[in-house]
Amino acid sequence: MLVPCPNCGPREFTEFSYGGETNARPKPNAPVEKLAKYLYVRRNASGPQQEWWYHRAGCRSWFLARRDTVANTFLGSYWPDDARRER
């Protein structure tokens, strides 16, 4: 399977480390329950989801990718700053 690194282009998945799905970080003064949910609860949705990936055997950069978890295919990748502008 090829992972589309926004810096290096498509590379074999063995070069990458999965960082998990993205979720909003709670504020510093948030209740403990919100912090626990942030740390331990994942949606694990079927279909497209946004995930963190690290290119450990290449450019050594963290980036975001959209991946369809049903078909296990990548729909694209981008830098975190680009994701903020899209919202």
Q: Cα(21)–Cα(84) distance, rounded to whole angstroms?
A: 16
Give the tens place of pLDDT for each residue, 46-58. 999 999 999 999 9
2-86 fold: Folate-binding fold (3.30.2270)
Is pTM beyond 0.75 here? yes
Residue whose pair of structure tokens reads 């990936």 in the numeric block: 53
Average pLDDT, the chain: 93
* Cβ contact 76:61 at 8 Å: no
CA triplet 71, 41, 69: central angle to 5 degrees?
5
